[in-house]
Chains A and B, each alone.
Chain A
């Protein structure tokens, strides 16, 4: 039984679309005009007038006194629109996450690195339709894998470590000495002022998912919070609510914290994702679709690994069935106990701390396996060049 949204998405693809949408696709990234999906995604995201507006940017008649989303009279006239209508279109595309308020005025994304912003403003869900998100899911699964692999290959060749990695659940590491400030989610929250809750763009695509992880689980911090609040995509929350979310709400699901690796929590001003492998577009690539690179090249492991004291293990299997996403928690026969108990495969363990946090018998702990200089020697980017 094929998902009805997949059928609807396929119907979308059958429609003929205006040539402008292929040009918009090319603008976001050369080559995307040939994508089986992307031009149609653009066609659903914006109307033809908006597409023409986007193609005419940047507004070279701007002057420095104008607001970042403002347009000049001259620009609007060239498009055959009045300024008010043109700015209304701009405002909508800003809220939808396609146009950004830059110093050069409203501008489209510079690359696919920013493309998730067009998929998480729930105010536009009804207008865009479930099939819009499904189509994006198909696009991501089928066409974005290779470019991601290429980028990873280039990053490895450049001698750079990835900027994003698993950040351990704080309860799992709180008693360990020498936790770096950038590894302690509580420090990250303490160092920042603005927080917002966002719907996860990736997860919105997989409405039929069985993992039960909710959509609204993405925590944005600092400038990312302000941006998302301003465009109506994010819901402002207090530091206490953010801590509650991180500590308790996210503990209910098998989700791992993913974020920027930095030595200064004040530098962590982006997104603290709460990812599950089957509804996160990045984790899906190595873990569901298949990739020549292992998951650790997509997101770095933390400096910690889980360890089980088999004597304390009661064999409840919570860690295996409901916590570990990476298959690191496994049952092994222990002759000294005459039965199977849990053991951790360190190769697979990403150090997320999910299993440690919820072990009813307290059999799981964390241990440090990598020295601090591997985390973020300078500031979240390992600059070896």
Chain B
């Protein structure tokens, strides 16, 4: 179109591919706002509907309990018979591995980048470049197996001068996108706190985003932003999990605040003092009340995914 570069790539208004948003002829602020709303609505409509639950991202504000919930989630899915892979994409907090009870650290994916490889090169650094990757073909040093779970990590920034997190986001995006999972395989990705990962498009190949919220307005506000960005990327299964909830009144209030912000709620994990105290020892007990809450949430999510898939097959 010349000066105007159509974001949909249409050659002219009402060309094939034109969604009639009228951004090309928008002159006033009002017209531009209206046009961008149409584009958003179109993008939402493009989201793959009823995707199977296979690649889950756990997101939320720092400190809300992402890592803890990831541990409970992964173990619940494992108990249900799934082969679970956990990917730690958090670049700062090193705790997830220990929370799972693993001792050995897997080789971080970041070492695949020449800049980060410290000389001790494994025999196969090219596997991430393949078009599809099945879990069984990932070289053993990058995966820690234990207690029926597979654990991988992207990398940590240890040296203050190690530079930007862009390359780590790339690794995460690549791996998640290329992972070809069998019917009983699921990957749970523990995200970095906040929305940075969304800006980098890490979640592009995720089908489910679970945003953890705790009883604070800030975490709920962030849940709204994450919901918005994830939906903008075409992920249609985005919902919040209320965590550390101390009473039904708090639960109601949180639900109301999230509803006001158009965020769906997947369920509640009540404050669990046993879990909380064990946290100080770096342990996530798998037999505490919180685990039961997580089981209920997973049952509901799986059931919804199944019935959605059923509806679309009719």
Residues of B within 8 A of A260 (CB): 5-7, 9
B9 touches A113 (CB 8 A): no
Residues of B within 8 A of A50 (CB): none
- How far, in whole Å, are A379 and B5 apart by their CA atoms in the complex? 13
Query: Is A78 an interface position by the 8 A CB rule?
Result: no
- Contact among A104, A109, A378 for B43, CB-based, below 8 A: A378
B232 touches A267 (CB 8 A): no
B164 touches A223 (CB 8 A): no
A263 touches B2 (CB 8 A): no
Interface centre among A151, A177, A267 (most CB of B within 10 A): A177
B11 touches A381 (CB 8 A): no
Contact mask B1-42 → A, CB, 8 Å, 1/0? 111111111111111110000111101110011001101100
Residues of A within 8 A of B36 (CB): 158, 160, 381, 383, 385
**Stretch of A244-252, A268-276, A311-319, A331-339 with 4 or more beta carbons under 8 angstroms from chain B:** A268-276
B28 touches A113 (CB 8 A): no
B25 touches A110 (CB 8 A): yes
Residues of B within 8 A of A3 (CB): none
- How far, in whole Å, are A259 and B4 apart by their CA atoms in the complex? 9
**Stretch of A10-18, A114-122, A357-365 with 4 or more beta carbons under 8 angstroms from chain B:** A114-122
Which residue on chain B has the smallest CB distance to residue A223? Answer: B11
A371 touches B167 (CB 8 A): no
Query: Is B185 an interface position by the 8 A CB rule?
Result: no
Residues of A within 8 A of B226 (CB): none
Residues of B within 8 A of A371 (CB): 164, 166, 196, 199-200
B24 touches A111 (CB 8 A): yes
Contact mask A371-385 → B, CB, 8 Å, 1/0? 111100111110101
A269 touches B9 (CB 8 A): yes
**Knowing A116-B1, A150-B27, A373-B196 touch, does A379 contact B7 (C-beta < 8 A)?**
yes
A117 touches B2 (CB 8 A): yes
Residues of A within 8 A of B271 (CB): none
Query: Is B113 an interface position by the 8 A CB rule?
Result: yes
- How far, in whole Å, are A212 and B232 apart by their CA atoms in the complex? 43
- How far, in whole Å, are A100 and B24 apart by their CA atoms in the complex? 14
- How far, in whole Å, are A258 and B33 apart by their CA atoms in the complex? 24
Residues of B within 8 A of A160 (CB): 32, 36
Which residue on chain A has the smallest CB distance to residue B12? Answer: A100
Interface centre among A113, A151, A163, A226 (most CB of B within 10 A): A113
Residues of A within 8 A of B15 (CB): 100-102, 223, 227
- Min distance, Cβ B170 to any Cβ of chain A, angstroms: 5
- How far, in whole Å, are A110 and B15 apart by their CA atoms in the complex? 12
Say whether chain A's binding surface is mostly helix, strand, loop, or mixed: mixed
Query: Is A107 an interface position by the 8 A CB rule?
Result: yes
- Contact among A104, A110, A269 for B24, CB-based, below 8 A: A110
Which residue on chain B has the smallest CB distance to residue A384? Answer: B36
- Min distance, Cβ A194 to any Cβ of chain B, angstroms: 11
Query: Is B289 an interface position by the 8 A CB rule?
Result: no
Which residue on chain A has the smallest CB distance to residue B173? Answer: A181
Contact mask B223-252 → A, CB, 8 Å, 1/0? 000000100110000000000000000000
**Knowing A100-B13, A178-B164, A224-B11 touch, does A114 contact B27 (C-beta < 8 A)?**
no
B12 touches A227 (CB 8 A): yes
B7 touches A373 (CB 8 A): no
Residues of B within 8 A of A374 (CB): 199
Contact mask A270-286 → B, CB, 8 Å, 1/0? 11000000000110000
Residues of A within 8 A of B28 (CB): 154
A158 touches B33 (CB 8 A): yes
Query: Is A155 an interface position by the 8 A CB rule?
Result: yes
B9 touches A268 (CB 8 A): yes
A154 touches B27 (CB 8 A): yes
214-256 of chain A: CB within 8 A of chain B: 221-224, 226-228
A373 touches B40 (CB 8 A): no
Residues of B within 8 A of A164 (CB): 4-5
B37 touches A385 (CB 8 A): yes
**Knowing A114-B2, A372-B200, A372-B201 touch, does A267 contact B32 (C-beta < 8 A)?**
no
Query: Is B82 an interface position by the 8 A CB rule?
Result: no
Residues of A within 8 A of B166 (CB): 177-178, 368, 371-372
- How far, in whole Å, are A158 and B28 apart by their CA atoms in the complex? 9
269-284 of chain B: CB within 8 A of chain A: none
Query: Is B142 an interface position by the 8 A CB rule?
Result: no
Query: Is B115 an interface position by the 8 A CB rule?
Result: yes
Query: Is A201 an interface position by the 8 A CB rule?
Result: yes
Residues of B within 8 A of A109 (CB): 12-13
Residues of A within 8 A of B74 (CB): none
- How far, in whole Å, are A377 and B24 apart by their CA atoms in the complex? 20
A270 touches B1 (CB 8 A): yes
B43 touches A113 (CB 8 A): no
- How far, in whole Å, are A163 and B200 apart by their CA atoms in the complex? 18
46-99 of chain B: CB within 8 A of chain A: none
A378 touches B9 (CB 8 A): no
B7 touches A226 (CB 8 A): no
Query: Is B169 an interface position by the 8 A CB rule?
Result: yes
255-308 of chain A: CB within 8 A of chain B: 258-260, 262-263, 267-271, 281-282
Interface, chain A (partner B; CB < 8 A)? 100-104, 107, 109-111, 113-117, 147, 150-151, 154-155, 157-158, 160, 163-164, 177-178, 180, 201, 221-224, 226-228, 258-260, 262-263, 267-271, 281-282, 368, 371-374, 377-381, 383, 385
Q: Enumerate 30 A-B pairs (CB-CB under 8 Å) in ascending A order.
A: A102-B13, A113-B1, A113-B4, A116-B2, A116-B3, A158-B29, A160-B32, A163-B5, A164-B4, A178-B164, A221-B9, A223-B11, A223-B15, A223-B16, A224-B11, A226-B11, A260-B7, A262-B7, A267-B8, A269-B8, A269-B9, A269-B10, A271-B2, A371-B166, A372-B200, A377-B199, A377-B232, A381-B23, A381-B39, A385-B36
Known A-B contacts: A260-B6, A380-B7. Give 8 more (CB < 8 A). A102-B13, A113-B25, A178-B169, A260-B9, A270-B10, A372-B199, A379-B43, A381-B36
Interface, chain B (partner A; CB < 8 A)? 1-17, 22-25, 27-29, 32-33, 36-37, 39-40, 43, 113, 115, 164, 166-167, 169-170, 195-196, 198-201, 204, 229, 232-233
